[in-house]
Amino acid sequence: MFQATTHNIRIEVQPAYLSEQSNPAQNYFYFSYRVRIVNEGSRRVQLLSRHWIITDAYGKVEEVTGAGVVGKQPTLKPGESFEYSSFCPLATPTGSMTGTYLMIDAQGEQLEVEIPKFILTEPNHYH
C-alpha cells in the first residue's frame, strides 16, 4: 500500500494488475487502484477535483483532471473516510501514477492534498 498525508488528510492507494482485462500481445495492460481518503483533521472537508499524472515505462506522461472522483464530491467529517476504485490502462507493463486532490474545508480554505506516487506493474514483467 502507498500512502501520504497532507493537511491531515491521509490518502491510501492499493494498485492491482487485471490480467483478464489485459492483452500484453497488443501492448494493453489494465490496472485497477483502490483509494481510501481519511479525514484525520478537526474540520469537515469536501473533495472538489482531481489531478492525475500517469507515466508509462517509456516516460510518456498523461495528465487527467476533473471534478470529483467516480462522479462524486464526497464531504468527510473529522474521522470519516471515503473509498473508491478506478482503472488505468497502460501501453507498457509498468508505470506510475501520482497527483493531487483539491479539497475545501468548512471555512472555505482550499487544500491541495497529495496523492502518493504508486507503481503499476504487471507481476510477470522482469525489469
pTM of the model: 0.93
Which pLDDT does position 124 carry in this prediction? 80
Which pLDDT does position 10 carry in this prediction? 98
Give the CATH fold of the 2-119 domain: Immunoglobulin-like (2.60.40)
Buried b (16+ CB within 10 A) or exposed e, 34-67: ebebbbebeeebebeebebebbbbeeeeeeeeee
Which pLDDT does position 125 carry in this prediction? 66
Write the pLDDT tens digit of every residue in 33-44.
999 999 999 999
Among residues of the chain, what percentage have pLDDT more than 90?
96
- Residue 5 CB neighbours (<10 A): 15
Write the pLDDT tens digit of every residue in 80-107.
999 999 999 999 999 999 999 999 999 9
Write the pLDDT tens digit of every residue in 43-78.
999 999 999 999 999 999 999 999 999 999 999 999
Among residues of the chain, what percentage have pLDDT more than 70?
98
pLDDT band at 111 (very low <50, low <70, confident <90, very high): very high
Per-residue pLDDT, averaged over 23-42, amounts to 97
pLDDT band at 126 (very low <50, low <70, confident <90, very high): low
* Structural domain boundaries in the chain: 2-119
